[in-house]
Amino acid sequence: MKRYWKIAVLANIKDENQTKPEGVPPDAFADFDHIETVDAIRAALETDGHSTIFIQADRDLPFALREAQPDICFNIAEGLGGDAREAQTPALLEMLGIPYTGSRVLTNGISLDKTLTKRIWRDRKLPVAPFQEFTAGDEPLRPELKFPLFVKPAREGTGMGVDMKAIVKNEKELSERALYIINVYQQPALVETFLPGREFTVGILGRADSKLYSRHPEWYEKDGFHRFPVLELDTSRSVTPWVYSNEAKSKDVGADGSPGYFCPADIEPELEKKLKHLALRAHQLLNALDISRTDIRLDEDANPRLIEINTLPGLTPNYSDLCLQAQSEDIRYEDLALDILYLGASRWGMLEPREHASEALKKK
């Protein structure tokens, strides 16, 4: 079996100089990556002897892949347009038969859609805030939804379409905001009960047999999963108080107007256990693979409610929530990226189970 691979990092890169096409929202492409993130991932993968290239995940991707012939792709591509853009690159790779990291097509499609995701969680009794999807803007509000409400695009990320006006206090504000989202973002508006409590995000790494393929089997618990330390976002002091908006997310950690980041969060062990359990169940119910980050907020009775799951969590060193979580327990960025790679590769038959890991497992 080949030991060193040619790895293509696939991403959609922000072009700060490019003028935005007409008709796109003001924060369009906010979830695209900077080339520095791609460079960091490439450098991390190269530390274990692999060679890497970057391929932009745009319309030329199919041709670039055929030319480059990578052994495997490290996928962080957000995709371009449509109703399931995060599923586009995985779908193409499936079609071409090229191995790739992380979650597959269906999961990336569903997790981008917060309404569908919440329906799945609610069906399995995971706690979510009451919600309703608006596709016209003037739908009658269901009685279980009480003001204040929170209105956001059903299928975006990185706080796109989320600012202080997302909190609506009456019917008039609700229909105005819902119409704004529907028209500007060209997608349904998700209306939820406003969750006034503390905000957390929890990363999950691994799967049942992680120890067989990881370079760090000691990270993983008996069930094969690693739960990163809980990160609390103190949004109260951010540029958009109580809301982890696109504007708040784009500030550097510690900069003026950024939220407070606390990791590990200062919480009771019981709440910590609950949050980690919920994040893992959220991950499993969506069939997420290897890596995800789930956002959770407390309701008015201080009960956790799942907000959403990110199956392509940001991987910018010293900046992305997941990287801050890893850092807080001294997991090196290089090791994190390599474990995502090897867990992914093992699913495509590219790795033998590791001797040392099998030994460790036998002892359990």
Minimal distance, residue 349 CB to ligand ATP, in Å: 32
**Both tokens assigned to 315:** 């991987």
Residue type, 35: I
Distance CA 178, CA 343 (A): 40
Contacts of residue 54, defined as CB under 8 A and 6 or more positions apart, other chains included, come to: 8, 9, 11, 35, 38, 42
Q: Is 93 in the site for ligand ATP (CB under 6 A)?
A: no
Nearest Cα residue to 226 out of 136, 325, 341, 89: 325
How far is residue 334's CA from residue 134's CA, in Å, rounded to a whole number? 42
Rule CB under 5 A: say whether 295 interacts with Mg ion: yes
Task: State which residue, 214 or 292, has the beta carbon closest to ligand ATP.
Answer: 292
Number of Cβ within 10 Å of residue 314's Cβ equals: 18
- The correct pick among 177, 297, 347, 354 for binding ligand ATP (CB under 6 A) is 297
C-beta separation of 213 from 354 below 8 A? yes
User: Using a CB cutoff of 8 Å and minimum separation of 24, what contacts does 173-180 make?
Assistant: 174/141, 174/147, 174/149, 175/137, 175/138, 177/151, 178/134, 178/137, 178/151, 179/137, 179/138
Minimum CB–partner distance for residue 174 and ligand ATP (Å) = 13
Amino acid 193 reads T
321 near Mg ion, rule: CB under 5 A: no
Q: Cβ of residue 203: shortest distance to Mg ion, in angstroms?
A: 12
The yes or no reply on residue 325 touching ligand ATP (CB under 6 A) is no
CB of 219 to ligand ATP, least distance (A): 23
Interface with Mg ion: number of residues (CB under 5 A): 1
- Binding segment for Mg ion (CB under 5 A), chosen from 45-53, 187-195, 293-301, 336-344, is 293-301
Q: Least Å distance between CB 243 and ligand ATP?
A: 5
Between 214 and 240, name the residue whose CB sits nearer to Mg ion: 240
For residue 140, is it left (φ>0), alpha (ψ between -120 and 50) or beta? beta
Cα–Cα dist 48/338, whole Å:
8
Q: Does 158 bind ligand ATP (CB under 6 A)?
A: yes
Binding ligand ATP (rule: CB under 6 A), the pick from 86, 113, 133, 156 is 156
Residue 281 CB coordination number (10 Å): 17
Nearer to ligand ATP, 86 or 334 (CB): 86
Site string for ligand ATP, 99-138 (x = CB under 6 A): ---------------x--------------x---------
Residue 33: name its binding partner from ligand ATP, Mg ion, none (Cβ under 5 to 8 Å by kind).
none
Q: Which of 181, 291, 307, 322 binds ligand ATP (CB under 6 A)?
A: 307
Q: Please, which residue, 157 or 206, has the CB nearer to ligand ATP? A: 157
In angstroms, the CA 175 to CA 142 distance is 13
Residues lying near ligand ATP in the complex (CB under 6 A) are found at 114, 129, 150, 152, 156-160, 162, 192, 194-195, 199, 235, 243-244, 249, 295, 297, 307-308, 310
